[in-house]
Amino acid sequence: MNDPANAGHSSSSLLDGLGKWIPARFRSDVPVVPVVRLSGVIGAVTPLRPGMTLASVAKLLDRAFATRNAKAVALAINSPGGSPVQSRLIYLRIRALAAEKKLPVIAFVEDVAASGGYMIACAADEIYCDPSSIVGSIGVVGGSFGFQELIKKIGVERRLYTAGEHKAQLDPFLPEDPGDVARVKALQQEIHALFISLVKDSRGARLKGEESKLFSGEYWAGGTSVALGLSDAIGDLRAVLREKFGDKVRTPVIAPSTGLLSGLMRKSSGAGAEASLDGLAALPDQLISALETRAIWAKYGF
């Protein structure tokens, strides 16, 4: 007679043996931590300035948090900041998905997580960085140029018509108005206060430095950011995830779709003489955007 216990053991052994031949991505016993890369200046997008916005990363985040057998979601961050609105929208989307899917989020800072880039990193439950990473810059900055003397020298007369007392504030072709500057500074203080509140909510008791230092807009190398509580530890993505989830952990990078349809749509969007003319007309603005992007990265030594 067949022993039921032995039969069960044989079936289990058979399944275990077959499991070795099943690709890791289809096995429930292999932990998965999808990786979303969040790179670049945050905000407006032009062909020469591929910025990061909620619209550009939302589908990637959705796919990451919907990954089968996911044990966590990893964020690989490399951003010098940009739009405070887009930074916060991305932060909120990550936190909402983490709560919905009940998954921890782990951020890994590459070169830079500064300003809005650090705001996004704060969406993670833990932040790891390299000793040479640049972290922080919790502040708000804005600037312009004054061309009023230049147009006088070249014989250009400024003609401006507005409805609304402050509609032309900070016009670069008019002398600077102290009242305009005061209003802009008040706006910056309001946005800065929101940023500070977000960091405090995220990092909590882990923050160790004086507020006057932490929130001054200063930035630090990775080791100092850990000492100040802005980051949790020094570590790279592969090593940390293997330590947390085992050597067999899979870390698929959630990349934008590159299917045939999306490729055709990208090609059709730029096809034709009209599109070419539009591109030429927009070239000056795109060059300025590219220079602005270069300047933002250069601020942190890149």
- State the Cα–Cα distance between residues 172 and 237, nearest whole angstrom: 45
* Residue located via tokens 């930074």: 87
At residue 2, the 3 state secondary structure works out as: coil
Q: Do 139 and 115 touch, CB atoms closer than 8 A?
A: yes
User: Quick one: residue 115, left, alpha or beta (phi over 0 = left, psi -120 to 50 = alpha)?
Assistant: left
Which one is catalytic: 59, 152, 167, 185? 167
Which one is catalytic: 79, 83, 87, 115? 115
Q: Give exposure, 78-103, as e/b (b: 16+ Cβ within 10 Å).
A: bbbbbbbebbbbbbebbbebbeeeeb
- State the Cα–Cα distance between residues 117 and 182, nearest whole angstrom: 27
Degrees, nearest 5: CA angle 237-76-80: 130
* Residue located via tokens 């430095």: 209
Strands 105-114 and 126-129: parallel
Query: How far is C-alpha 73 from the chain's CA centre?
Result: 14
Residue 167 designated active-site: yes
- State the Cα–Cα distance between residues 293 and 286, nearest whole angstrom: 10
Residue 115 designated active-site: yes
- State the Cα–Cα distance between residues 25 and 251, nearest whole angstrom: 10
* Residue located via tokens 């300003």: 115
* Residues classed as catalytic: 115, 167
